[in-house]
Amino acid sequence: MLQIKNARIQSASFGPRVQAVDTLVLHYTALDLEASLRVLRYRGVSAHYVLAPDGTAYKILNNDEVAWHAGVSMWRGKKQVNSRSIGIEIVNLDGNKEAYPDVQIAALAQLCQRIVQENPAIRPRNIVGHSDVAPKRKVDPGTRFPWKALAASGIGLWPTPSAATAVGSDAQIQALLEQCGYARPHGYGKKGETYVMVDDPAAPPAGVSGVVPVGTRDILRAFQLHYQPGAANGVPTLATQRLLEGLAAAQ
Ligand SMILES: [Zn+2]
């Protein structure tokens, strides 16, 4: 049975909810439990829940408050995913290397189901990872995260591969990625102390520096981190094409 403990935020790093919630974003913390709770309760970032390795969920913010977990992000053509999402930070030091314990994943499944009951606009296609909404910039929850198993219980989508016989052009791949919710090519850079999204990395607005371009291959790698974890290198293979077409058809 899922145990939820109150761990109310102690900083001002959150905001009022203005837009309706329709997205759930999953992360790994890259910190142990104690450090995760310290950072997410007292520092400049936050989340709605921190999920411990033993399956205990620490509730930091209410769903009607905006947590600062996704940063510069885009999903289904809309920027600033924080404004309409719930964020769960899963305690794991590196989800691209470290397995997620079964007890933690069982608790996560219950927590996600509870959140979806409370926010029915969160469809399976909008239960995603930080890497899905912030390609290139973020790689969590990582290739060890059991997306396929969770999709079997309705948490997120898992594609049935299409029967494609050839890999599409980058333009065709980009169109499929966007159909699945992923960002169009863009960039991100720093304006003062904060990161901002840049529509055209070749012509950033005044005052934005250190611009990193995010292209189709970077966005494809985000797709692979989620759906093809054994081949997350941004290079499309026939298997990638089939999975991508399968996911696009499931939208
Ligand atoms: Zn994250």
| pLDDT tens digits along 24-36 | 999 999 999 999 9
Q: Give tens-digit pLDDT for 218-246.
A: 999 999 999 999 999 999 999 999 999 99
Q: Does residue 89 have an active-site annotation?
A: yes
Left, alpha or beta for 133 (phi > 0: left; psi -120 to 50: alpha)?
alpha
Every domain range in the chain assigned CATH 3.40.80.10: 4-152
CA of 73 to the centre of ligand 1 (A): 11
Q: Architecture of domain 170-249 in CATH?
A: Orthogonal Bundle (1.10)
What is the distance in A from the centroid of ligand 1 to the CA of 31?
12
Q: Which amino acid is at 168?
A: G
Where are the CATH 1.10.101 domain residues in the chain? 170-249
One-letter amino acid for residue 103 of the chain: V
Distance, CA 115 to ligand 1 centroid (Å)? 18
In residues, how long is the chain?
Answer: 251
Q: Which residue has the tokens 């239960």?
A: 127
| Chain segment 159-218, per-residue pLDDT in tens | 999 999 999 999 999 999 999 999 999 999 999 999 999 999 999 999 999 999 999 999
CA distance 53 to 27: 13
Which of 65, 89, 118, 245 is an active site residue? 89
pLDDT average, residue stretch 113-117: 98
CA of 169 to the centre of ligand 1 (A): 30
The pTM of the full predicted model, rounded to 2 decimals, is: 0.98
Q: What's the fold here for domain 4-152?
A: Lysozyme-like (3.40.80)
Element of type H or E holding 222: helix 216-227
Confidence of residue 1 (pLDDT cuts 50, 70, 90): confident
Rounded-to-integer distance, Cα 18 and Cα 9, Å: 19
